Structure 1
């Protein structure tokens, strides 16, 4: 390894001497990769193929000691620093150009306490890793809808998915976290220790340190009654009008997110529907088996669907249902907002843009975030929009880089049209790099408190490759 030209936190370029890099490498139990090392090209890739960044160094940490060493190395050498858990972030905020990436993907330890129904999860785990471990005990934690998503990024942004209406956001089930701070200290944050940090990491993103493990409260979820119901596009306006009233009044055991989509060309979908633009709802029911028919009766009474594939399945099967459609390396551009109401005017705009999906995989989703989520106060965690009913995302997706501009334009135009009908802020995990004003709009009156906590734990803004909360002292 030779001397390296690096990007610093001041935005300047400097040279990192070989001796320093060699000493750092010798103190790691994991790997330290630079551009001339085998494995670097694969290690630098993230989920979104639209992101093409070249870190100077990638520290593939094996344990907490490695993370501490890496944070200290970045701080002492004023390196631009990014932290990667699952690498799923749409904006590519788990990597950077010319700096250091702390890669947690090898830290996949999980420990279940079946009596207390708690789950200790290391920062490199995906939802699939956790589902595999918890399902053996008949348990689950509320999380997302794709098993390849990283637990760390999902949790730090708030975390919503199939179990949200019943059990709340992922952060509402977070009991504590172990964190390596900017000064290299290792601390635990919970309701009794470092309470301000615990408040901030529940929705405040990766602004305050590297979370090396999370302790979650799990819930008895094993088999769910779930799957998609699809209707032809000419029913979309009627469906959205019915859905806006139905889902917000439905029992919290029943969850369903609305989507505009093109039907995937393969089973279980019939051939005559393949690639057809349709609207649909993907359901998940966690209640008693004997009440399934009662729960779904209003859905079946609404209108006969063009396709339905609902039945009992293990919860991990539902979580991984869409994984084959969206492997790592797709081109992604997404924009989101929180939504309180679905007015007829907003539905008309959804129809305009949702019927013009620019590629086979592009989609719009409305995820319910009511129920248990709304019963937590907006200032009780950093996640502010507790009154919202849905988290909306427009996702332009395609395997071909030649289509990147097309899917980006569609997502932006769709979002621009609907933004006036939203709450004004967004789920941070559905944001690209959209600027400081957008970050502040997302945290609202929690932002000033977040700045004060940032000043305390990261006054030089070492952790800045994120939806950044800028310290007043930096």
Structure 2
């Protein structure tokens, strides 16, 4: 391939087979093994514009990358140009207006640190290196969403570069239809988002970290905990949200772990969480601390990287006992080479329900939660069998859920537009035609014209 002309680029570019290329191409999910032609690190808006123009001129497919956390690796690819915005990481906090403006490369940890030092929480994600922009464009589930709303519920405005290199200002008044689409269906579909401005929540310095676990147990206990969540999640204090992982672990056997945040005192947190714990012998860890330190603890609990196959779907309205059994029976035996298999519940409801369903493309706002499903392995020789096992078993889960979460995507998903966006799919196609008529922003599961 001929040498590409990156003379316009203020940032660095890394070509295939050059020094440090192997490091630069890595995704957080090490099961993603893509080899892009070049990776361009953009430091400003003009760099991004230049990359889009170059890709179009050379008829070269491109992808947009920030945190490199896409489950299926759609932020990279073989023989593509990766437009990496991770170097654009300015954060501007305006305490008078009670807003924060971030550039496209800001990640969860950076934003939590900047805002948390002022004693202000933020409805961000759990993993430290996930890009805040990508997290928000997918809807924005986090441990604080039942209390503070989804990421998109706190978004005031954004700026986006379109297919022609125009910088668009987008909010509820200007390019309103695009603003609607970007809130829940925006990642990679319409342009490159370069900045976002959010309303800041009120100051809340302290809360309670909630960590509960039962190791080496049985499926009956898991089933009863699942039933308790199913029964109580709607009525739980909206200041509490959590992830419940029902797992089969190489070292800890079959078990269940609850990780969450409660915006209040320990005694109140224990009262609420006891509704899910029943009378089992849990390892219980409830600690009052700064909200910033709670988020640090949750982020630090994530590994530096993993090799995994994963997906997520929205839970239906209440489950029969046999349906819960069918879901959890998947955990009876991990597939060959799996170090960790889990079915997880991520809570919705609370202030998520108070957002107007018509205000964003996030279609499943009224769901009580998200059901995640993953398998993690360590040796590459077990990759294919684990991936196949997830795809086969997702068929069981699909029958017991209602639609798929775009931030927990599945490459093998049929009718993915309807699965991710439900009845909003038709309107999203119309907006795509308006703002990207040449289908320049095109990837494996993009909105198709």
Give the TM-score of the pair, scaled to structure 2.
0.92
Q: Is structure 2 residue 319 aligned with structure 1 residue 333?
A: no
| 2:29 counterpart SS class | coil
Match of 1:250 in 2: 236
Equivalences for 1:202-217 in 2 at 5 Å? Answer: 202-204=183-185, 205-217=187-199
Pair 453,29 (structure 1): closer, same or farther in 2 beyond 3 Å: same
Checking the alignment, whether the CA contact within 8 Å between 1:275 and 1:360 is kept in structure 2 is no
Equivalences for 1:56-455 in 2 at 5 Å? Answer: 56-204=37-185, 205-219=187-201, 220-231=203-214, 232-233=217-218, 234-262=220-248, 275-287=252-264, 291-296=268-273, 298-299=275-276, 302-321=278-297, 326-340=302-316, 341-358=318-335, 359-423=338-402, 425-435=403-413, 437-455=415-433
Alpha-carbon offset, residue 86 of structure 1: 0.4
Pair 357,313 (structure 1): closer, same or farther in 2 beyond 3 Å: farther
Pair 305,414 (structure 1): closer, same or farther in 2 beyond 3 Å: farther
Alpha-carbon offset, residue 77 of structure 1: 2.2
Match of 1:11 in 2: none
Checking the alignment, whether the CA contact within 8 Å between 2:109 and 2:299 is kept in structure 1 is no
Pair 337,191 (structure 1): closer, same or farther in 2 beyond 3 Å: same
1:92-132 Cα offsets, whole Å, 9 max, x none, are 01111112110011111111112333111111121111111
Question: Where does the alignment leave 5 or more consecutive residues of structure 2 unmatched?
Answer: none
Match of 1:8 in 2: none
1:67-87 Cα offsets, whole Å, 9 max, x none, are 111111112222101000100
Please give the alpha-carbon distance, in whole angstroms, between the structure 1 residues aligned to 2:235 and 2:65: 38
Pair 324,406 (structure 1): closer, same or farther in 2 beyond 3 Å: farther
Alpha-carbon offset, residue 336 of structure 1: 1.6
1:355-385 Cα offsets, whole Å, 9 max, x none, are 4345333322111111222233433211111
Checking the alignment, whether the CA contact within 8 Å between 1:177 and 1:213 is kept in structure 2 is yes
Checking the alignment, whether the CA contact within 8 Å between 1:144 and 1:319 is kept in structure 2 is no
Q: How many residue pairs were aligned?
A: 441
Question: Where does the alignment leave 5 or more consecutive residues of structure 1 unmatched?
Answer: 5-16, 265-273
Match of 1:13 in 2: none
Match of 1:270 in 2: none
Pair 121,409 (structure 1): closer, same or farther in 2 beyond 3 Å: same
Please give the alpha-carbon distance, in whole angstroms, between the structure 1 residues aligned to 2:148 and 2:67: 23
1:391-426 Cα offsets, whole Å, 9 max, x none, are 111011122212213432332233211211111x11
Please give the alpha-carbon distance, in whole angstroms, between the structure 1 residues aligned to 2:415 and 2:246: 29
Alpha-carbon offset, residue 320 of structure 1: 4.4
| 1:105 counterpart SS class | coil
Match of 1:12 in 2: none
1:327-363 Cα offsets, whole Å, 9 max, x none, are 4542110122111233312210122113434533332
1:437-465 Cα offsets, whole Å, 9 max, x none, are 12222212211111111101111211112
Pair 326,361 (structure 1): closer, same or farther in 2 beyond 3 Å: farther
Q: Which moved more, 1:275-284 or 1:47-56?
A: 275-284
Please give the alpha-carbon distance, in whole angstroms, between the structure 2 residues aligned to 1:221 and 1:439: 38
Pair 214,436 (structure 1): closer, same or farther in 2 beyond 3 Å: farther
Alpha-carbon offset, residue 435 of structure 1: 4.9
Checking the alignment, whether the CA contact within 8 Å between 2:37 and 2:81 is kept in structure 1 is yes
| 2:111 counterpart SS class | helix
Please give the alpha-carbon distance, in whole angstroms, between the structure 2 residues aligned to 1:434 and 1:455: 25
| 1:139 counterpart SS class | coil
Pair 292,336 (structure 1): closer, same or farther in 2 beyond 3 Å: closer
Please give the alpha-carbon distance, in whole angstroms, between the structure 1 residues aligned to 2:371 and 2:34: 28
Alpha-carbon offset, residue 299 of structure 1: 4.8
Please give the alpha-carbon distance, in whole angstroms, between the structure 2 residues aligned to 1:64 and 1:136: 29
Please give the alpha-carbon distance, in whole angstroms, between the structure 2 residues aligned to 1:293 and 1:393: 25
| 1:68 counterpart SS class | helix
Alpha-carbon offset, residue 262 of structure 1: 4.9
RMSD: 2.1
| 2:353 counterpart SS class | helix
Pair 307,105 (structure 1): closer, same or farther in 2 beyond 3 Å: same
Please give the alpha-carbon distance, in whole angstroms, between the structure 2 residues aligned to 1:352 and 1:110: 46
